[in-house]
Structure 1
């Protein structure tokens, strides 16, 4: 066992601590110090009330407007979803500024998740690009469009780590890996907030869900999560810490219970971790109705008790429900809550409103006609979509297609403008969406080259009446392009699936198409990995397109016809079937690790054989020990070779840097981009360590025959983990290192970290 020697120094990811920022923060705190003593308890509590505008009719809205006048509303969500007041953003804000006791502006929030009206790929699809700059740009565009209407706060990024594709909300995540989710979550946060959140087209981000939501049992939404503290700290918390270090302004607590305590009242998460250890100074918002849901959880007796628990735990902003306004004044009088805690919560709220510059720019930024769905934004969405596509199979280089190829375009999602937008698209509209069929017609410019037969009307359709027509179209074509998967409604909040195979009769239709003998390209649009079954073998080419957003069609044409080479890589592990779940690449080793030859597959076990004859190792007899596709996997139209692994620092002291490099060469016939990945393994630790952990990646674009030396510099702090005492440490010892194209391959080397400080 290694001797524990060094506490890991925290990594600083942000540059917000400039002298100017400190001066601005001092001025803000001084303004709050002047304002707070002039507010009544009722007005303070009012700052903690987040109303859902979409829930009110005209009569109720008049009551809410009076609450604004009385200083009892802090903000609204979903304002744009009601037709009660066409100018609601401006009119509500005008009441708050001109008629409330202190003129404190409202904050308007909304789920701007992967675009506002210009819809980008779902977050899981964006994560497949492994491109922080692209993700930051997408968030920046979403912020520009949303702020034009007056929305200055978004409930994103969602940086829950999830290892269960049954969970509907995996579509909103950035995948299974804490390093990748941290890098991409920071990029999204910066895109929303910019370096100056006070500018009118910036919006506050809200990282969610704090914490452990992605570990819901059985992949069922809202379900309980049980996470050991070390796993919580090493896997689920790092993306949140990285976002906070990058200047994140708000946090949303989670629906689930974490180790039997609802996240909405989890003092360990909201106080110990968030405030005391990390020093977070923004505000915490509950999820929608989550305060009241502690009653069915069996944690709160009634609404008053729920308010007491949430407020004392550190939830500042109560979303939708009204327990704070109804009960906090009485709880203060009863000594069950304090005005000191109330002041702290209000300070959090006012601080963020001031950092957003809401006093200086309270009204919508305007100029929406020049911003929303602009050509620039649509082009950015097109680029983001095509970089999200993951090519999973390309037998005999079937792709890219030749432009004179006669295509049978088949499948329920080949011309589905709404479904391609994906989950959480409150402002997205199918009329602005560009599906594959018209994009293909425009690209080829010759209708005789395309025969379109949906075969199924929607993804869950079980009727086979149109199969013969689809088969006939396939027989008369040179190549079949099948576009299927899941409708958008099958993923997202509350939409978990126990069976993640293709729904409806899609598998039967694909089998019929494959039996024609014509080359088959299968394109999947879905919010999660899909159990492929025989589809992988039946398809000569297979591509995961997720739900790609507004510009799905043109982006698919770009990639299918080789205008660009696919470059997406899986941000999660793709299971063979539900029985492998949870499945993730950075798992711990067992005492009996599986290999390809230390067990017998189920179909080959002899009848009546001795118990141990088939072998005893950590595997499934029917699925084996490998997934359908590993984390980080993805093909291009180029071919890449890796050679000449060099670890310049075979021995490095604590506090030093490991320098490693390899030569990557494009041995194919077309220019392409490779995503070179760096993995490490701590061979022996005071707690068992993962078999591999992603610690870096670089994008390398190479022409045919071109090569490049790709270098990585890894500080020993990046090797830290939480030991048995929950101290974050880098332990001296031996490590494996891989420079690889995915988590299951690569050039392997070794290095040693010593106890000596440099």
Structure 2
């Protein structure tokens, strides 16, 4: 040990890595002021950029204010950068800022999923420089736990090389309400499959043993999003209720039990409020009967619990008002909401940056410092076990070598191909190379590698059309990131497909982030496939038989909207006479 290192340990004994973690946590806690402890409780958004600039989209303070004024050390990284090196360099600058504080507590950076095709500032981030894989539903379509664990291990390597140490995923909710907007990040409708694949995902991110090379998984959304009344999402007031007309609350817990058995370190409760159950009718993040009674006492979970984002304060997103998701406690003040979350047994407030409010609760005796210490121990233990106190910095030169490595990209592209699911085929597939192709939704230069691209269906031997599953337009920008409402294609879309199919045999491929009503498309097309994030080349390799079709549906595809509306939101496989069943998938 160098003299400088020895001096550092003398001044900050918690830096002595030879001590047990719990002892190191206690040594640090004893040195922390109540203000420094309070800062640990807040885990909010931050974007790559100048550390002294505010975030205009989410109206959040600068990194400097977060770290030096608010004593915060947990941040969810928004957006991406063109290269891994740029992310790594910014992370190192942020860690240097944290190191300049009184105690030098390192920052923990988290992220929503960032390896796929979707972009939603409330749920996911485009892959950017990272390897690109199908959405989680697509991983589920492969039915391959080894592939899922391999994905998570690759994502772990790409995350850690740029300093991302907490995954705000997996999402092991069950997709039992076909209209729900958040299905694309789930493992589908079947509890057993979701549990098996969720556990593989956790093992890949956290490694064989949890430590400096791990990414901590925050499994969500306990005790299971999915049974949403009318399929509406509780990001919004009209979607606040979770309902269980089929009495299947327990079924939605199964994937979380499997996640706990796999060692998930953190848990996020959802926004929704349970209606008509034994539990208090308030949002799960406020719900002591769920967080303490169910998660901590029944399941014995002593890990970190972080609320979903924005339970305490109203905010603005994209310049539009966005109320706190304080469902069931809308009448409480922000101060009262915070106290209820603390009393519920939660450790961190997601998407909030108001430690001054927590300090008010401590000052007037509503929250004791001993209660702060309970959560602070859990939070600090994660930092120590992740090795952040030993070395919070990353190798900027290595970042570009690891992020998007050719081997990783190839694995992601193979997974895209493996997830493509063939629903119908009237002899159009596989198609032979060299046909005259009319394409929509595929770049012409990509399609040209498989045939002669022509300008109209009349000139073609085969048409290939890619569609997005239907959704309804909503009033605000943020709402429209959450695809909701009817699953029926618009009349003009059906007519367009029919017109092309009348002229030439037509293959229709649908990005099925929700289970669309495909009957009119199936009636018209020569073949129908679905995907959950696949490049044009990935799709065409399956359609030509270059790689085998092996995908299988991770949910039922309903026959009609009336069947969807009659189904029970908490019951899997509950739409009458579905067009295609869970597990359906043809080979070519």
**Category of TM-score, reference length = shorter chain:** 0.7 to 0.9
Indicate which of 537, 545, 564 corresponds to 1:562.
Answer: 545
Are the counterparts in 2 of residues 212 and 227 from structure 1 also a CA contact under 8 Å? Answer: no
Indicate which of 503, 511, 519 corresponds to 1:525.
Answer: 511
**Alignment partner, residue 628 of structure 1:** 579
Equivalent-residue separation in structure 1 for 2:72 and 2:518 (angstroms): 50
Equivalent-residue separation in structure 1 for 2:53 and 2:583 (angstroms): 54
Indicate which of 207, 227, 243 corresponds to 1:215.
Answer: 227
- Structure-2 change in CA distance of 1:170 and 1:86 (3 Å): closer
Deviating more after overlay: 106-115 vs 310-319 = 106-115
- Structure-2 change in CA distance of 1:64 and 1:380 (3 Å): closer
Task: Please tell me whether residue 94 in structure 1 is matched to residue 99 in structure 2.
Answer: no
Indicate which of 345, 370, 384 corresponds to 1:314.
Answer: 345
Equivalent-residue separation in structure 1 for 2:500 and 2:79 (angstroms): 45
Equivalent-residue separation in structure 1 for 2:331 and 2:495 (angstroms): 49
**CA deviations over 1:341-399 (Å, ceiling 9, x no partner):** 2111111101111221111231135312212222212211111111111111112x321
Q: Greater relative contact order (Cα 8 A, min sep 6): structure 1 or 2?
A: 2
- Structure-2 change in CA distance of 1:348 and 1:503 (3 Å): farther
Q: How does 1:470-485 map to 2 (within 5 A)?
A: 473-485=456-468
Equivalent-residue separation in structure 1 for 2:442 and 2:423 (angstroms): 19
**Alignment partner, residue 450 of structure 1:** 453
User: Could you say which structure has the larger radius of gyration?
Assistant: 1
Q: How does 1:158-557 map to 2 (within 5 A)?
A: 158-200=171-213, 202-222=214-234, 223=239, 224-227=241-244, 231-233=248-250, 235-259=251-275, 260-292=281-313, 293-295=324-326, 297-323=328-354, 325-366=355-396, 367-395=398-426, 397-409=427-439, 411=440, 413-415=441-443, 437-444=444-451, 449-451=452-454, 453=455, 473-486=456-469, 495-503=482-490, 505-516=492-503, 518-548=504-534, 552-557=535-540
- Structure-2 change in CA distance of 1:78 and 1:215 (3 Å): same
- Residue 309 of structure 1 aligns to a residue whose secondary structure is helix
Offset, 1:144: 2.1
Equivalent-residue separation in structure 2 for 1:361 and 1:488 (angstroms): 46
- Residue 197 of structure 2 aligns to a residue whose secondary structure is helix
Offset, 1:514: 2.0
Deviating more after overlay: 86-95 vs 122-131 = 86-95
Q: How does 1:109-188 map to 2 (within 5 A)?
A: 109-115=110-116, 116=127, 117-188=130-201
Equivalent-residue separation in structure 1 for 2:351 and 2:327 (angstroms): 17
Equivalent-residue separation in structure 2 for 1:489 and 1:107 (angstroms): 37
Offset, 1:107: 0.3
- Residue 350 of structure 1 aligns to a residue whose secondary structure is helix
Equivalent-residue separation in structure 2 for 1:160 and 1:79 (angstroms): 23
The gaps in structure 2 that reach 5 residues or longer are: 1-16, 55-59, 117-126, 276-280, 314-323
Equivalent-residue separation in structure 2 for 1:489 and 1:386 (angstroms): 29
- Structure-2 change in CA distance of 1:494 and 1:523 (3 Å): closer
**CA deviations over 1:694-726 (Å, ceiling 9, x no partner):** xxxxxxxxxxxxxxxxxxxxxxxxxxxxxxxxx
Deviating more after overlay: 55-64 vs 304-313 = 55-64
Equivalent-residue separation in structure 1 for 2:163 and 2:568 (angstroms): 40
The gaps in structure 1 that reach 5 residues or longer are: 1-23, 416-436, 454-472, 590-618, 638-758
Are the counterparts in 2 of residues 112 and 146 from structure 1 also a CA contact under 8 Å? Answer: no
Are the counterparts in 2 of residues 90 and 363 from structure 1 also a CA contact under 8 Å? Answer: yes
Offset, 1:237: 1.0
**CA deviations over 1:219-273 (Å, ceiling 9, x no partner):** 111121023796222x211111211211111111212212321111111221112
Offset, 1:322: 3.0
Equivalent-residue separation in structure 1 for 2:434 and 2:62 (angstroms): 65
- Structure-2 change in CA distance of 1:374 and 1:573 (3 Å): same
Equivalent-residue separation in structure 2 for 1:90 and 1:376 (angstroms): 26
Equivalent-residue separation in structure 2 for 1:372 and 1:154 (angstroms): 16
Equivalent-residue separation in structure 1 for 2:442 and 2:533 (angstroms): 12
Offset, 1:80: 5.7
Equivalent-residue separation in structure 2 for 1:175 and 1:529 (angstroms): 10
- Structure-2 change in CA distance of 1:284 and 1:55 (3 Å): farther
RMSD, aligned α-carbons: 3.2
Q: Which structure shows the bigger proportion of residues in strand conformation?
A: 1
**Alignment partner, residue 319 of structure 2:** none
Offset, 1:102: 2.5
- Structure-2 change in CA distance of 1:414 and 1:506 (3 Å): farther
Deviating more after overlay: 302-311 vs 112-121 = 112-121
Indicate which of 38, 42, 45 corresponds to 1:52.
Answer: 45
Equivalent-residue separation in structure 1 for 2:19 and 2:390 (angstroms): 17
- Structure-2 change in CA distance of 1:401 and 1:186 (3 Å): same
- Residue 167 of structure 1 aligns to a residue whose secondary structure is coil
- Structure-2 change in CA distance of 1:283 and 1:494 (3 Å): same
Offset, 1:158: 0.9
**Alignment partner, residue 67 of structure 2:** 68
Are the counterparts in 2 of residues 159 and 209 from structure 1 also a CA contact under 8 Å? Answer: yes
Q: Which structure shows the bigger proportion of residues in helix conformation?
A: 2
- Structure-2 change in CA distance of 1:79 and 1:404 (3 Å): closer
- Structure-2 change in CA distance of 1:320 and 1:586 (3 Å): closer
- Residue 73 of structure 1 aligns to a residue whose secondary structure is coil
TM-score (norm 2): 0.82
- Residue 540 of structure 2 aligns to a residue whose secondary structure is helix
- Residue 44 of structure 2 aligns to a residue whose secondary structure is strand
Deviating more after overlay: 80-89 vs 161-170 = 80-89
- Structure-2 change in CA distance of 1:166 and 1:79 (3 Å): closer
